[in-house]
A and B are shown apart, each in its own frame.
Chain A
Amino acid sequence: MNTKVTKGAAPASAAAAAGPALVRGWEVVIGLETHAQLSTASKIFSGASTAFGAEPNTQACALDLALPGTLPVPNRGAVERAIRFGLAVGAKVAPMSIFARKNYFYPDLPKGYQISQYEIPVVQGGTMSFVVGGGSNGAGTTKTVRLTRAHLEEDAGKSLHEDYHGMTGIDLNRAGTPLLEIVSEPDMRSSAEAVEYARALHTLVVWLGICDGNMQEGSFRCDANVSIRRPGAPFGTRREIKNLNSFRFLQQAIDAEVQWQIERLEDGLAIEQATVLFDPATGQTRAMRTKEDAHDYRYFPDPDLPPLVIAPEWVERVRAAMPELPGAMAERFQRDDGLPAYDAAMMTQSLAFARCYEAVRAASGQPKLAANWLMGEVSKRLNAEERAIDAMPVAPAVLGALIRRVADSTVSNNGARQVFEALWAEGADSTDAAARVDAQIDALGLRQMNDASALEAIVDEVIAANAKSVQEFRAGKDKAFNALVGQVMKASKGKANPAQAGELLRQRLGGAGG
């Protein structure tokens, strides 16, 4: 991904050959460190619950409070989730990795050190591929980002600075929650790429069932390392933006940081390595600490924890239980269903979405129509109502039956939208899907006129009543033909099949014109 091609010279479709988009002549370099909270019921080194939102300090056991004499024991479920991630990104799952202590004092860090992995992490290498740009019509480009590593660690507690009248409250419920920190190489060249990478990663960890992906609750959060350079120059000094818990903030923070760095360098000033925070209210990043006051974490192997040994058999057991991955599934949808790449990517935006697509496709026998409906009408309504795909009120079998009726011309596309609306309002479950759809079509009077003689009569009436349009059509005006079709539709109260009506009109008018 480091090929240098000047902007505009690259073929738009070949991502590998595309040069980085420059910002005022600067190349942006981004690497992400993502903390995914692993979806284990208990903590990484203790038996306390990881459930979110409990009363402060009710889910902190003796170990989480770092009481004297307590010892950590690794949670196999957390390790297993790390293995699953490693296999999904094609990384090496280390047969032996080391837990280390990262030492620093902070009130919400009860032991005075965080147990993490430092020199030898559990997941080493790997790649993430995802589509950047594009749409239903334009082909996006595939981008591949190399992963450096992913390691297991424990989360800290929370310091609560409000409501304590100048004092600080400590909630240790979150202390010891298992995290997988996923570190990328500095392979992204724009905030848009960074966001797409983060989205793809989010999709993957939720898909794998290793993280609930809830960004509001902090289950998935990113730190962005950002630097800029002139094309071809060595990497610039980076600043790390901490704790971005939405894709929007991620993009805004990187953009703001890039602007700040450009202005600074163009003013002839140097960038100092620093950790910065993004303030969504001001849209600015501000330095939290610089390299000079950075901690010396005094990492060393945790003597309470023997090396984490993962036997090949364990890896194979996890591999055998792996779900089909989004990339493989998208390829299958392109290959077997004939979907365009963009559609295939959209159908695999989550495991739930993919399952829904597969159900709708199976019920309808119409892959492309199924994809169109899911990307169009369904997504629109879900977004408007802030619902997840698995909370769609219309069962996939019902949507499939409806699409079948569109395909066999029982109902028009427009009519089908009305039917869908009614099914949505009704909360149509999958029982008697076809009958349910047909009943709704009839109830709304949207069954298309498939009686040829009735349509012929209407067409003849329309031709007789619109001599002027007929005249114009025969003179070669296409618009006039459309007007005539419209008249047929109107006269049939929308029940005519527009294609059929057009065909009949042409027959009657002798095929001249357009």
Chain B
Amino acid sequence: MNGAKGGVAGLARRLAAREVSSVEVVRAHLDVIASVESRALGAFLAVDAEHALADAQAADERRARGEAGPLTGVPVAHKDIFVTDHARSGLPTTAGSKMLAGYQSPFDATVVARLGTAGAGMVTLGKLNCDEFAMGSSNENSAFGPVLNPWDATRVPGGSSGGSAAAVAARLVPAATGTDTGGSIRQPASFCGVTGIKPTYGLCSRWGMVAFASSLDQAGPLARTAEDCALLLSAMSGFDARDATSAERPPVDLHAAMQTQREGATAGRPLAGLRIGLPKEFFPAALAADVAGAVRAALAELEKLGATLVDVSLPRTELAIPVYYIIAPAEASSNLSRFDGVRYGHRTAAPADLMALYKQSRSEGFGPEVKRRIMIGTYVLSHGYYDAYYLQAQKLRRMIADDFQACFRQCDVIAGPVAPTVAWRLGAQAGDPVKAYLADIFTLPASLAGLPGMSVPAGTGEGGMPVGLQLIGNYFAEGTLLHAAHALQQATDWHLREPQR
């Protein structure tokens, strides 16, 4: 059943043409997911075939009634940081943590609801592995085991949306949701050779996302192509009254925006007039040669398509690391206080008293990286340290955002690498968390500024591992990013390459 697999746009087209049914598509994907080979990847934490097939059936019926939307019947899987109504979906929500093992949410995240049966009509296949509470960049922090990189099983898939990126790369799903707090969509997309976009902060509702760092967390899609991402992001984004930080803006059709021809563009030069800024801080001497080479090659392609490259500067790029590793843990330390063993989640056996209930439940339920960040966050918010750390970090965050605005006076889009290297080997950074933090340098600035950023496949580097090109746009300029990425993907085939299995 060859027509039952493929990317989002392709499947949508075949479903619309009735060449294939959603039940057939979903069954084909469930079969692949269930294979020994797929299971070894560790991408899925939960699959509920029964509910998925029922949803597929419902999607086919919806199409028969003539009520199908562009995504109806196409399968999707969600990062296990999104809560899924257990009664509806049969799927637990764990956030990759022992703390929430088996937790059954009574409601769906807004993103899940908008993509699902009640909204666009996509069929949820299951929940995807991730770093515990989305804290990490290798997916090795999941309490339920690591995810392997489909391109090389000895390497990490990146994180924290490692399961999402690996599942899309291994063709287990046409598309997946992810979340990005400091790079958690872009970096695994880069490491696994898929396309991923973190939209502007506030574009997607955070209702139903297990919170890591509230002022940074954003949902976004990972898929094979910019076009697929545009289709998903259009469906999952938009104002939500249940999230006070949700942007109150009219909905946008990013798929249409992606295809809209630029003024002055020609067939051969679709990006004519587009100014792409290259921050010199994104191309340091220490940048791995393979990554630099792949990114330069992609930039050359963009130039061929009519774009102009301009030198710009983001002088506080290095400062983004300490700023992020103060603000994110500070918010996390507070957000994770609710996991106290009192109402739900892991509770220690027979605690001696209330304090023991708290200490043991949390000590047993949280993994080392989560504990580390709670400790850091608690410290920087403590009396006497708040001004020195948290307040300073907030001031710098504002300056970093201002630096971007200065750049956007000179360019329309900022480009650079997503990560300084290709995917590293499993365990390579064990025992050295700071080394992993430093590798977030190129994704953190856009996160702190709340800007949209994406990772677009840009060929391969060392060991044949994928390299991602990062594109950063101004606020709510997702259409511009997707348009540029789509143009690149029309002209190149990096995004079509698949891992050998």
Chain A residues with CB under 8 Å of chain B are 62, 65-74, 101, 103, 105, 107, 110-113, 168, 170, 296, 298-300, 302-306
12 pairs of residues in contact across A and B, judged by CB atoms under 8 Å: A65-B344, A69-B83, A71-B207, A72-B244, A105-B337, A105-B340, A111-B338, A112-B338, A112-B340, A299-B386, A300-B381, A302-B214
Most chain B CB neighbours (cut-off 10 Å) among A69, A71, A299: A69
Interface residues of B in 84-115 (CB under 8 A from A): 93, 95, 100, 103, 105-107, 109
User: Is A101's CB under 8 angstroms from B207's CB?
Assistant: no
* With A68-B100, A296-B382 as contacts: A112 and B354 at CB distance below 8 Å: no
A160 CB → nearest B CB, Å: 14
A296 CB → nearest B CB, Å: 5
A159's nearest neighbour on chain B, judged by CB, is: B354
User: Is B206's CB under 8 angstroms from A71's CB?
Assistant: yes
User: Is A303's CB under 8 angstroms from B331's CB?
Assistant: yes
User: Is B93's CB under 8 angstroms from A68's CB?
Assistant: yes
User: Is A66's CB under 8 angstroms from B243's CB?
Assistant: no
8 Å CB contact of A306 from B109, B209, B244, B354:
B244
User: Is A103's CB under 8 angstroms from B244's CB?
Assistant: no
* With A68-B95, A74-B244, A111-B337 as contacts: A298 and B207 at CB distance below 8 Å: no
Most chain A CB neighbours (cut-off 10 Å) among B100, B106, B244, B331: B244
8 Å CB contact of B338 from A66, A170, A304:
A66
User: Is B210's CB under 8 angstroms from A303's CB?
Assistant: no
19 other A-B residue contacts (CB within 8 Å) besides A72-B244, A105-B337: A67-B105, A67-B344, A69-B93, A69-B107, A69-B207, A71-B242, A103-B334, A107-B340, A112-B337, A112-B340, A168-B354, A170-B343, A298-B378, A298-B381, A299-B386, A300-B334, A300-B390, A304-B211, A304-B245
B375 CB → nearest A CB, Å: 13
* With A71-B244, A74-B244 as contacts: A110 and B354 at CB distance below 8 Å: no
Chain B interface category by residue count: 35 or more
User: Is A296's CB under 8 angstroms from B383's CB?
Assistant: yes
Q: Which residues in B have their C-beta under 8 angstroms from that of A66?
A: 338, 343
8 Å CB contact of A69 from B208, B245, B330, B344:
B208
User: Is B338's CB under 8 angstroms from A300's CB?
Assistant: no
Q: Which residues in A have their C-beta under 8 angstroms from that of B207?
A: 69-71
Q: Which residues in A have their C-beta under 8 angstroms from that of B342?
A: 107, 110, 170
User: Is A73's CB under 8 angstroms from B242's CB?
Assistant: yes
Q: Which residues in B have their C-beta under 8 angstroms from that of A72?
A: 244
User: Is A62's CB under 8 angstroms from B106's CB?
Assistant: yes
Q: Which residues in B have their C-beta under 8 angstroms from that of A110?
A: 338, 342-343
B358 within 8 A of A: yes
8 Å CB contact of B215 from A62, A70, A111, A303:
A303
Interface residues of B in 446-477 (CB under 8 A from A): none
User: Is B337's CB under 8 angstroms from A69's CB?
Assistant: no
B88 CB → nearest A CB, Å: 15
B241 within 8 A of A: yes
User: Is A105's CB under 8 angstroms from B358's CB?
Assistant: yes
B213 within 8 A of A: yes
B362's nearest neighbour on chain A, judged by CB, is: A105
Q: Which residues in A have their C-beta under 8 angstroms from that of B358?
A: 105
B249 CB → nearest A CB, Å: 15
* With A105-B337, A111-B337 as contacts: A69 and B109 at CB distance below 8 Å: yes
B447 CB → nearest A CB, Å: 13
Q: Which residues in B have their C-beta under 8 angstroms from that of A298?
A: 333-334, 378, 381-383, 386
- How far, in whole Å, are A270 and B386 apart by their CA atoms in the complex? 31
Contact indicator per residue, chain B 387-412, by CB within 8 Å of chain A (1) or not (0)? 00010000000000000000000000
Contact indicator per residue, chain B 402-440, by CB within 8 Å of chain A (1) or not (0)? 000000000000000000000000000000000000000
Secondary structure class of chain A's binding surface, majority of residues: loop
User: Is A68's CB under 8 angstroms from B210's CB?
Assistant: yes
- How far, in whole Å, are A296 and B334 apart by their CA atoms in the complex? 13
User: Is B244's CB under 8 angstroms from A303's CB?
Assistant: no
Q: Which residues in A have their C-beta under 8 angstroms from that of B209?
A: 69
- How far, in whole Å, are A72 and B343 apart by their CA atoms in the complex? 19
User: Is B210's CB under 8 angstroms from A300's CB?
Assistant: no
- How far, in whole Å, are A336 and B242 apart by their CA atoms in the complex? 52
User: Is A69's CB under 8 angstroms from B244's CB?
Assistant: no
User: Is A113's CB under 8 angstroms from B206's CB?
Assistant: no
User: Is B330's CB under 8 angstroms from A300's CB?
Assistant: yes
Q: Which residues in B have their C-beta under 8 angstroms from that of A300?
A: 330, 334, 381, 386, 390
Give 6 nearest A-B pairs by CB, closest first. A112-B337, A303-B215, A303-B214, A298-B381, A69-B208, A69-B83
Q: Which residues in A have their C-beta under 8 angstroms from that of B206?
A: 71
Q: Which residues in B have their C-beta under 8 angstroms from that of A105?
A: 337, 340, 358
Q: Which residues in B have their C-beta under 8 angstroms from that of A69?
A: 82-83, 93, 105, 107, 109, 207-211
Q: Which residues in B have their C-beta under 8 angstroms from that of A111?
A: 337-338
Q: Which residues in A have their C-beta under 8 angstroms from that of B383?
A: 296, 298
* With A71-B242, A73-B242 as contacts: A103 and B381 at CB distance below 8 Å: yes
B345's nearest neighbour on chain A, judged by CB, is: A68
Most chain A CB neighbours (cut-off 10 Å) among B103, B210, B245, B338: B338
User: Is A68's CB under 8 angstroms from B338's CB?
Assistant: yes
- How far, in whole Å, are A304 and B243 apart by their CA atoms in the complex? 8
B110's nearest neighbour on chain A, judged by CB, is: A69
Q: Which residues in A have their C-beta under 8 angstroms from that of B105?
A: 67-69
- How far, in whole Å, are A70 and B244 apart by their CA atoms in the complex? 11
B250 CB → nearest A CB, Å: 19
B427 CB → nearest A CB, Å: 30
Q: Which residues in B have their C-beta under 8 angstroms from that of A68?
A: 83, 93, 95, 100, 103, 105, 210-211, 338
- How far, in whole Å, are A1 and B271 apart by their CA atoms in the complex? 73
Interface residues of B in 288-345 (CB under 8 A from A): 330-331, 333-334, 336-338, 340, 342-344
Interface residues of B in 193-226 (CB under 8 A from A): 206-211, 213-215
A74's nearest neighbour on chain B, judged by CB, is: B244
A64 CB → nearest B CB, Å: 10
- How far, in whole Å, are A72 and B214 apart by their CA atoms in the complex? 12
A60 CB → nearest B CB, Å: 10
A111's nearest neighbour on chain B, judged by CB, is: B338
User: Is B208's CB under 8 angstroms from A101's CB?
Assistant: no
- How far, in whole Å, are A66 and B206 apart by their CA atoms in the complex? 15
B342's nearest neighbour on chain A, judged by CB, is: A107
* With A69-B83, A73-B241, A170-B342 as contacts: A62 and B107 at CB distance below 8 Å: yes
A511 CB → nearest B CB, Å: 85
- How far, in whole Å, are A225 and B333 apart by their CA atoms in the complex? 32
